[in-house]
Amino acid sequence: MKISASDNMLKRFRHEFIILAIIVALSIIIGSINSQFYSIGNIYSLLKSTVIMGLFALGSFLVLVSGDIDISFTAIGAFCMYVTSKLVLLIIPGAGIVVIMLVAGLIGILLGFINAVFISLLKMPGLIVTLGTGSMIRGFLLTFIGVRIINKLPDSMIAFSKITFLHKAQANGHIVGLSIGFVVFIAFAILIYLILKYTVTGRAVYALGGDRVATARVGFNITKVQFFIYGTVGFLSGLAGVTHSSFMRNGNPFDLVGTELSVIAAVVLGGTSITGGKGSVFGAVLGVFLLVLINNSLIMVGIPSYWQRAVVGIIILLSTGSVALQERRSQGV
């Protein structure tokens, strides 16, 4: 903990540099084995694949930096996606995508606040609380709201998945574009970065993860900060849910849940310390890129897809292990 600010910065950059280097090295290796990898179509599709995990990861990142852990966000995402789709179809089938996203985000905020009540007011550990709320939310969704896949989504959600730009012609003549979802992801990443860096609440998120008691002594309102964190997680999960069903062109209430540990793994790959106080948005985004790259490119280089889990496991261990060893060395243990 006794690391000066400049040392700390250097270290943080070092980790991001390592992740970036791994991404570049992997890309070169994959590309040299299969040149299809460099095709603009593949790159666009990889970027699109980062969107859902990325939105979830931004929320997870906030929680981890604050020194806690949340595993209910995928259940929140599925809940928001399904309930919003049903509501919109029932009441305002012609609603625009922005309205739909806001409704989903709002439901997400409310669910996030439930987590915040337990974690902040009752001072219970996030892992336990979100284990409880996560299974309640999913159980409620599948018991009381529905298990049927919605095949006909609101038009604006389908239209959203078709919005692309930066159009390029592929070698085979097909014109491909980058999904707008990627822009949404990056825009929120920048927004979270700005909030963390320039607002008092944002600084408090880091402070809370570094030293809770000191944060309270300095005069931060910890309850308010935690409501901000879990509300934001809920909002981002809502967005992720709607975006997911828009990409899939259907609303499946069974989707998303089960991916939470990979999302956390991605954030941690990006250098966020699970004990709180350390980590950067840029790192988290890189972590998502790396995990998506591995998940989607094994097949391209001829590694059967059943190797995926083992490879992901090894990469998590190598990455977290190298960071842990580095920290030990710098602390002279």
Q: Of the ranges 14-22, 96-104, 170-178, 324-332, which one interacts with another protein (CB under 8 A)? A: 324-332
* Chain residues 272-311 in contact with another protein, contact rule CB under 8 A: 274-275, 304, 306-311
Residue 164, beta-bridge partner list: 179
Show contacts with another protein in window 181-220 (CB under 8 A): none
* Alpha-carbon distances, residue 240 vs 158, 226, 233, 244 (angstroms): 15, 21, 10, 6
Q: Which is nearer to another protein, 48 or 278 (CB)?
A: 278
Residue 239 carries which side chain, given as an amino acid letter?
L
**Which residues make Cβ contacts (< 8 Å) with residue 4, sequence separation at least 6?**
none
Closer to another protein by CB, 95 or 263: give it.
263
Shorter beta-carbon distance to another protein: residue 97 or 129: 129
Q: Judged by CB under 8 A, which of 147, 166, 187, 190 binds another protein?
A: 147
Does 267 participate in binding another protein (rule CB under 8 A)?
A: no
User: Going by C-beta distance under 8 Å and a sequence separation of 6 or more, which residues neighbour residue 166?
Assistant: 177, 178
The pair of structure tokens assigned to 121 is 């007011």
Our finding on whether 157 is near another protein (CB under 8 A) is no
Q: What angle do CA 66, 72, 74 make, to 5 degrees?
A: 115
* Binder among 34, 39, 259, 320 for another protein (CB under 8 A): 320
Q: Which span sits near another protein by CB under 8 A: 39-47, 131-139, 156-164, 244-252?
A: 131-139
Residue 151 contacts another protein per CB under 8 A: no
DSSP string covering 93-146: TT--HHHHHHHHHHHHHHHHHHHHIIIIIS---HHHHHHHHHHHHHHHIIIII-
Nearer to another protein, 170 or 331 (CB): 331
Element housing 166 (H / E): strand 164-169
Pick from 142, 163, 300, 301 the residue near another protein by CB under 8 A: 142
Give the amino acid at 277: G
3-state helix, strand, coil in the chain (%, to 5): 75, 5, 20
Give kind and range of the element (H or E) at residue 244.
helix 222-248
Give the interface segment with another protein, choosing from 35-43, 176-184, 202-210, 314-322 (CB under 8 A): 314-322
Contacting another protein within 54-93 (CB under 8 A): 69, 71
Which residue in the set 6, 143, 151, 172 belongs to the binding site for another protein (CB under 8 A)? 143
Looking at beta carbons only, is 103 or 316 nearer to another protein? Answer: 316
Residues found near another protein in the complex (CB under 8 A): 69, 71, 118, 122-125, 127-129, 131-143, 147, 258, 261, 264-265, 268, 274-275, 304, 306-314, 316-317, 320-321, 324-325, 327-328, 333
